[in-house]
Structures are given as C-alpha cells and as structure tokens.
Structure 1
Amino acid sequence: MKKIGIFGGTFDPPHNGHLLMANEVLHQAELDEIWFMPNKIPPHKQNEDFTDSRHRVEMLKLAISSNSGFKLELAEMDRKGPSYTYDTVRLLKERHPNDKLFFIIGADMIEYLPKWYKLDELLTLIQFIGVRRPGYHIETPYPLLFADVPEFDVSSTMLRERLKAKEPTQYLMPDKVRQYIEENDLYES
C-alpha cells in the first residue's frame, strides 16, 4: 500500500512555492509520492481564464521532473466541466483501491472546507493534510493532519504579473518552466 498525497491546483504557472510545499508534506507526512493534479475548471474559479491546459501540463511536467517522489495525475484534465474533489477522489480510489490517499490543502482552503461539495462523504474517502500558512489562524472541526512549510511568499498570480511586466522571476519558479514560458510566449501583455 502506497501513501499518496494529492496536490490539486491550477498551476498557472507552477512555481517553487508549490514544489517547496509538496516536498515538505512528502517528508513530514511520510508519504511515498505526491501527485500533482492540475484542475481543468475548479468549481471556485469557474469564471476565470486559465492558460491552455496543454501548456499548464507541460510546465508542471518540467517543474516536477527533478523529484522522483513527484508524479503527474491528469484525472481532472480528462473531465469535462467543473472538477469536484469528491468525484475525482472516488475515481482515484477506484483506480487505486489499495493505496491510502491524502489531499493537500492550503490554509485558505481549510477555511473554505464547509462549502466543499459532498464534504462529509469526501471525509470518509480521504485524509486531508492542511498546510499552515502565515496570516491564517486555523480552527476547524474537521479531522485534518497538518504540515508546516517555511514561509515563501510567491503565487501564480504574482508570477503572471511579473512576467507580463517583464520583471525577473528567477528563483521563484524552476528555470525549465521559465524557459518554457519564454519559448511559448505565455503571459505576454
């Protein structure tokens, strides 16, 4: 039985904060793997524009390529319409019945948990790992495990803005991802 952490997100673009968080959770929770799972259409961001799925997947492949404990899971990319965690977890449990799945969420999403689709059923299928983040006081009635991650203030939104303004992004994202962005003229103004 493998212990697998599922790390969902838009990863638009993936950055070193994502990698740092995943690596810390991998070791603190003693997981075998972290599966990065890009969302096609997250329910809480249905009205936002995202970079083409093909580019986000390629950037994520590049970002995780140097860590053998990181894998890519495309279950949500293959789905049409909004991706609800409950539906995805049911699918992954069917595909991997002998593995124990953990779902990694940031402090901001812990506060949002009461609004999650079929949360009570989801809690019977998976264990959540909450990542503590500065500025968030975490209180929850839900049975979460927690991981502490060193503070690294970077976000995909900030990177898109910096890229659009032609500001430096070195040390904020993997070099391979930055090169891919430049080669494909992504996030241009």
Structure 2
Amino acid sequence: MDKNNLCLSLSDIESGLCFPSVRKLGILGGSFNPIHYGHLILGRTALKTLEEKENEDNRNKRNSIEAFDSENRSDSFLSRECIVFLPTGVPYHKKNSDLLPFSERSTMLFLALKEENERYRNDSKKNHIGTNRCSIENKETLPFFYSTIEGERSGNSYSYDSALILKKTFPNAEIFLIIGTDEFFTLENWYKIEELGKMLHFLVANRNGVSKERELTERKKFLNNEFGLSCSFLNMKKINYSSSLIREKLENGDSISGILPVSVEKYIMDKNLYH
C-alpha cells in the first residue's frame, strides 16, 4: 500500500505493514456495487465525527498534540483520522445475482477515493482545517483508502474477522464500525457480536431519518445492557439514491450523471457494466 494505489491488501498486512500514528479508524463496509456519492457522503460525515472525537481527546489530555508530534511523525502518509472502505468478498446476507466481480468493484473504489482525497485536500486548504492536518512534515496525508482483505480471504465476510486483521495494522487506533439503522437493528444476530463490541465502537447512520430518535435511544440502551456494545449516531444528509437504483437506471438506459464520481461513471460506461 502507498499513497498512489490507496489499497491495503492482505499481503501488506502479512508483511508487517503498520500505521501506529493513526488514532481513529472508521471502517465502512459494503458491496459498493457500484460506489456512489451516498457512500462518499457517509464517509465524509463519519470522518468529521472522528476528527471531532480526536480533537476532544486532545483537549482532555495534557500535551497530547505535542506527544503525537514527537512520535511516529514520518511513519505514515495516512491522516490521524481515516476511513477505510471495505468491499465485501462474499456477502453471506445478500443475494449475489447482480454483484460485479470483486476486482471491478475495487477498481471503482480506487477511482472514487482518489477523487475524494483530492476534494478533501482542496477543501482543507481552502477552509484552513486544522483538526486533521493535510500536511505533516511537508507530506500530504490521506484520510480515505480501501482494503481488499475480504475479497482475498476465502469464505464468508464477517466484520469480526476483518476488524481483527485491521487491528494489527493500526495498533494504536480507536476503531469505529460505520453501519446503517437497518444493520443496527440486527446486531444481536451478528457473528461474535460481543467480541466485536470489545474491539470497536459503532457509528450508526440514520439515513434519511428512517428511524425515530426514541427507537434509536431504546435500541442503543438494549445493545449496551445485553451485549456491552458502545454506539453513537451520525446525522446524515438526505440521499435519494442507492446502488440498486443506479443499476436499474443503467439497465433502462437512463442517465446516472451527478450521483457518482465522473471517473466511476466513465469506467462503467467504458466497460459496459450492469447491462
């Protein structure tokens, strides 16, 4: 993995690649079939939350910024707070009839995240954002990348297994799993959910305000009491499209312009995907 390919592979991890300076790591999993601006907006929203949490931690810890600056400053081209997009290999809970090959979905992720990192850099310079600095020792750092570990492993893709693997590469990072409310209401059925909860914190996106605040609060309390899970909520911008809608539009010959990155749209058209 490097700042040009944006991809953390299983071989990278097995070779001992490590990013000890990353302090907050958000995991955003999905089929990404294809990736679109809804996914990217969710990533931006989660990143902002991680930046705010890190800033708060710094305020609560005396000389924490100086401590960060003095250790491992040159070990990473990744930002202190990062979002890793994790495309599913074999999603055991979904039908695979219209799922593109893993390599195609990974390529689209690369194109989208390359554009997203550039957007973040430009916005950071324009707004003088200091929480997640764009430059450490004159080296630009990246907040968004993806990992192919689920496609490289055999068998079903479980969040527990992926979190366990990522923890090796980000030993000092507080880990957050970004999910939607549909997944939030099924967490007790997840593989090794109590063990997973000990490793990470859940960030729940109430997309389009589907669930009522009271329902979410009661659910959060239940999951904490029964399984020891730590959960908090993301305020999501309203999104009126999905991957399934994009696939439907492509099948019908309708335009998909403006709902996914231009580079991804071009790739889909050039490859004649989803037809």
Matched, 1:2 2:23: yes
State which of 160, 184, 187 in structure 1 corresponds to 2:271: 184
**Secondary structure in 1 aligned to 2:267?**
helix
Greater fraction helix: 2
TM-score by length of 2: 0.65
Shift of 1:95: 2.7
Q: Distance in 2 between matches of 1:162 and 1:153?
A: 14
Shift of 1:38: 0.3
**Kept after mapping to 1: 8 A contact 2:89/2:102:** yes
Q: Distance in 2 between matches of 1:89 and 1:15?
A: 24
Matching residue of 1:162:
249
Q: Distance in 1 between matches of 2:272 and 2:33?
A: 14
For 2:268, the aligned partner's letter is I
Q: Which moved more, 1:119-128 or 1:142-151?
A: 142-151
Q: Distance in 1 between matches of 2:95 and 2:245?
A: 20
**Kept after mapping to 2: 8 A contact 1:103/1:129:** yes
**Kept after mapping to 2: 8 A contact 1:29/1:147:** no
Q: Which moved more, 1:32-41 or 1:46-55?
A: 46-55
Shift of 1:108: 1.1
Provide closer, same or farther for how the CA distance between residues 152 and 51 of structure 1 changes in structure 2, counting only shifts above 3 A: same
Q: Distance in 1 between matches of 2:249 and 2:98?
A: 18
State which of 33, 51, 58 in structure 2 corresponds to 1:12: 33
Unaligned runs of 5+ in 2: 1-21, 55-80, 118-141, 224-229
Deviations 1:152-171 (CA, angstroms, capped at 9, x unpaired): 12110010000111111111
The alignment's C-alpha RMSD in Å is 1.4
Matching residue of 1:136:
211
**1:58-137, aligned counterparts within 5 Å?**
58-66=107-115, 67=117, 68-133=142-207, 134-137=209-212
Q: Distance in 2 between matches of 1:161 and 1:91?
A: 35
**Secondary structure in 2 aligned to 1:76?**
helix
**Secondary structure in 1 aligned to 2:184?**
helix
**Kept after mapping to 1: 8 A contact 2:206/2:234:** yes
Shift of 1:46: 5.2
Shift of 1:94: 2.3
**Kept after mapping to 1: 8 A contact 2:203/2:231:** yes
TM-score by length of 1: 0.94
Q: Distance in 2 between matches of 1:85 and 1:159?
A: 26
Matching residue of 2:100:
51
Deviations 1:125-181 (CA, angstroms, capped at 9, x unpaired): 111111112222323323202111110121100100001111111111111100000
For 1:154, the aligned partner's letter is Y
Runs of 4+ in 1 over 6 A off after TM superposition: none
For 1:2, the aligned partner's letter is R
Report how many residues are paired.
Answer: 188
Q: Distance in 2 between matches of 1:179 and 1:55?
A: 13
**Kept after mapping to 1: 8 A contact 2:24/2:50:** no
